[in-house]
Structure 1
Amino acid sequence: MKVIWTHEANKSFDGILDYLLKVWSQKEALTFVDLVEDTIAKIKEHPELFKISKYNHTSREAFITKHTTMFYRILEESIQIEYFWGNFQDPKKVEELLK
């Protein structure tokens, strides 16, 4: 399946990478990128692998690390990456983002 990233997905992904590069190191940033790529590869093979989101029943939640969740949606002919979420943020905000 084709994978499409929303503007918000790109923006939130870049924000996490920037944070990792500033606070941690390039090694952690590259590990994060690898984990995201591996997760997306799994989703392409098995789109329903991860649970339906409790915030929006048309989205699914893929845990990338204990700190980060990726939200995605299964469309007819593609997978749409919607957002990367820092798990320590206010959960009410993610509800607004996924509406």
Structure 2
Amino acid sequence: MKRKVIISKTAEKKLEKLFEYLTEKWSEKIKIEFIQKLDHNIEIIRNQPEIFPESKKGKKLRRCVITKQTTLYYRFNSKRINVVTIFDTRQNPNKLDSGI
């Protein structure tokens, strides 16, 4: 059974900012390639949510590296995948704690 994917407001805002950045500083093509990687990883999470390692940042929180600059954090149960946040790894790691 495929789980429903729920994206938090925090993750939505961070994705919007990331998409804007990719379009403005790089190109539409780079943005599309990132979206394809994101979709691919979400599909993996949907089918095998336990495949990615648990994070040390929170209880039952898992992390999926989308690109070397971007990590997705999520939790799951038998019915849902909750995307908690998207983190730009170039930021101060202490900022992640406030996003979870």
> TM-score, normalization: structure 2?
0.94
% identical equivalent positions: 31
After superposition, the CA RMSD in angstroms is: 0.9
Within 5 Å, give how 1:8-87 maps onto structure 2. Answer: 8-87=10-89
How far, CA to CA, are the matches of 1:14 and 1:63 in structure 2? 18
How far, CA to CA, are the matches of 1:56 and 1:48 in structure 2? 15
How far, CA to CA, are the matches of 2:95 and 2:73 in structure 1? 13
> Aligned pairs, how many?
98
Moved over 2 A (4+): none
More off after superposition, 79-88 vs 49-58: 49-58
Where in structure 2 are there 5+ consecutive unaligned residues? none
How far, CA to CA, are the matches of 1:94 and 1:32 in structure 2? 21
